[in-house]
């Protein structure tokens, strides 16, 4: 039986300094931000990744940064989910999204993987797509630039400056997600203080 008072936050990215500041590691950055904001302790390396946990908003909240590389992220998520007996609905995945304009956030439960290798791997291992996804837009690459090269390249200076308003909106949104209120999460993203041009909210689908 699953522990209904526990959730797992997963930040998708690739391990190593080479990839740390790249667009494909935006999900990793998001969960690092949340772990710091919520004072969720780091427990070290576990479940094929960096793992920590603590209490927040009345729940036991674990966080996981898979170090398996993106296409095998499901191995790490699956190991943690099996250990804690979590259902897919108790897993919240933060990831970069090419199909959203840079700075936009969309929050949804379920759906396809959209070609994202990390999501594909998680769906395959969990046997379900019914986890929450926090999609963090990075936009499409410029003409002539291959998507694979684009996502594995570092943010430029303008993009780095715009990251802070995006990440700052996530703690408030997470509170609503933990309550099961995804529309409330999107409203909190849209109505958070800060330059409206830095982040746009998209409808939940």
The DSSP annotation for 74-100 comes to HHHHHHHHHHHT--GGGEEEEEEETTS
Active-site residue among 24, 57, 95, 113? 24
Round to whole Å and give the CA distance between 132 and 88: 8
Contact assessment for residue 141 and residue 127, using Cβ atoms and an 8 Å cutoff: no
Q: Has 113 been annotated as catalytic?
A: no
Of all helices (H) and strands (E), which one includes residue 102?
none
Round to whole Å and give the CA distance between 147 and 98: 8
Round to whole Å and give the CA distance between 135 and 30: 11
Active site residues: 24
């Amino acid at each position: 039986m699953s522990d209904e008072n526990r959730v797992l936050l997963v930040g998708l990215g690739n391990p190593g300094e080479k990839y740390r500041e790249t667009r494909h590691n935006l999900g990793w950055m998001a969960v690092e931000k949340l772990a710091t904001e919520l004072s969720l302790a780091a427990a070290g390396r576990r479940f094929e990744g960096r793992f920590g946990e603590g209490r927040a908003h009345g729940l036991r909240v674990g966080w996981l940064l898979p170090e398996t590389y993106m296409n095998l992220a499901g191995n790490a998520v699956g190991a943690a989910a099996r250990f804690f007996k979590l259902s897919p609905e108790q897993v919240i995945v933060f990831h970069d999204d090419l199909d959203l304009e840079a700075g936009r956030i969309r929050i949804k439960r379920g759906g396809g993987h959209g070609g994202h290798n990390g999501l594909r791997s998680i769906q395959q291992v969990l046997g379900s797509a019914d986890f929450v996804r926090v999609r963090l837009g990075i936009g499409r690459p410029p003409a002539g630039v291959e998507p694979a090269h684009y996502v594995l390249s570092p943010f430029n200076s303008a993009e780095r400056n715009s990251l802070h308003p995006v990440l700052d909106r996530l703690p408030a949104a997470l509170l609503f997600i933990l309550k099961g209120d995804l529309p409330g999460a999107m409203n909190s993203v849209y109505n958070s203080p800060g330059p409206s041009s830095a982040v746009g909210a998209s409808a939940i689908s």
